[in-house]
């Protein structure tokens, strides 16, 4: 059964009404647009650990991380969160809250001593973004900044790292005093600037 997003329903109805492309664009953003900070979390080493210890072992670790993260997300005013495969996505009112949650998740995993194998700890990679995105009403977000955040978490950040998009970094009032390292990279044929948080 196909899941219908309210965003798609709006587009279909607007096209049926004969609206021009620019009018549809304005309508969709007016009806479904929202501004927030976004957190994308990717588990480090899923393929490797699943092959060496089995998918059930990995999922057991993932569930423990998820339970730990849920408490932290709620503590930092999370607007909503959801899980998919070995990922976790969450939204916050501002980047400061998202960053505080990200850093606490890393610390909590280390302090808990959650292990992916007998010798290797379970760690995560986190990307943070900020900007206007489309809210599909079921907790998901779509848009350029969401795409960037997902790529930072899955393709760029290393285990235990938190990366901020350019927009996320610029949305932090105290950014000049933040311990970060600026990085320029090319992803999917697009040049991006991001900032690695140093603890």
The size of the chain, in residues, is: 199
C-alpha span between 140 and 146 (Å, rounded)? 10
Does position 139 have pLDDT exceeding 80, yes or no? no
pLDDT at 51: 67
In a domain? residue 17: no
Average pLDDT over residues 94-116: 91
Beta-carbon-side half-sphere exposure of residue 9 (alpha carbons within 13 Å):
10
In a domain? residue 23: no
CB neighbour class for 164 (10 Å; exposed up to 12, middle 13-18, buried from 19): buried
In a domain? residue 24: no
Average pLDDT over residues 178-193: 88
pLDDT at 164: 97
C-alpha span between 148 and 144 (Å, rounded)? 6
pLDDT at 21: 93
How many angstroms from the chain centroid is the CA of residue 175?
A: 20
Does position 114 have pLDDT exceeding 90, yes or no? no
In a domain? residue 8: no
In a domain? residue 2: no
pLDDT digits (tens, 9 = 90+) for 189-199: 889 899 999 87
Does position 83 have pLDDT exceeding 60, yes or no? yes
pLDDT digits (tens, 9 = 90+) for 151-178: 999 889 999 999 999 999 999 988 888 8
* Domain CATH for 99: 3.30.70.1230
Does position 47 have pLDDT exceeding 70, yes or no? no
pLDDT at 50: 65
In a domain? residue 75: yes
Q: How far is CA 23 from CA 64, 136, 141, 144, in A?
A: 46, 19, 21, 20
Domain with 133 in it = 33-197
C-alpha span between 16 and 123 (Å, rounded)? 48
C-alpha span between 112 and 96 (Å, rounded)? 24
In a domain? residue 19: no
pLDDT: which is higher, 166 or 43: 166
Does position 3 have pLDDT exceeding 70, yes or no? no
Provide the domain count of the chain.
Answer: 1
pLDDT: which is higher, 94 or 142: 94
Which segment of 10-24, 28-42, 44-58 scores lowest on mean pLDDT? 44-58
pLDDT band at 120 (very low <50, low <70, confident <90, very high): confident
pLDDT band at 1 (very low <50, low <70, confident <90, very high): very low
């Amino acid at each position: 059964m196909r899941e219908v997003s309210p965003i798609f329903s709006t587009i279909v109805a607007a096209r049926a009404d004969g609206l021009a492309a620019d009018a549809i664009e304005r309508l969709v953003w007016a009806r479904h647009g929202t501004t927030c900070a976004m957190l994308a979390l990717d588990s480090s080493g899923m393929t490797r650990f699943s092959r060496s210890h089995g998918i059930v072992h990995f999922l057991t670790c993932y569930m423990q991380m998820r339970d730990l993260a849920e408490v932290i997300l709620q503590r930092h005013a999370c607007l909503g969160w959801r899980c998919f495969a070995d990922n976790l996505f969450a939204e916050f009112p501002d980047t400061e809250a998202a960053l505080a949650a990200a850093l606490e998740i890393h610390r909590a995993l280390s302090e808990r001593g959650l292990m992916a194998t007998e010798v290797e700890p379970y760690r995560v990679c986190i990307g943070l973004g900020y900007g206007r995105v489309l809210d599909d009403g079921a907790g998901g977000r779509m848009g350029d900044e969401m795409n960037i955040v997902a790529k930072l978490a899955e393709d760029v950040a290393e285990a235990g790292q938190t990366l901020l998009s350019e927009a996320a970094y610029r949305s932090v009032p105290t950014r000049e005093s933040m311990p970060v390292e600026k990085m320029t990279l090319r992803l999917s044929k697009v040049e991006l600037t991001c900032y690695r948080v140093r603890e």
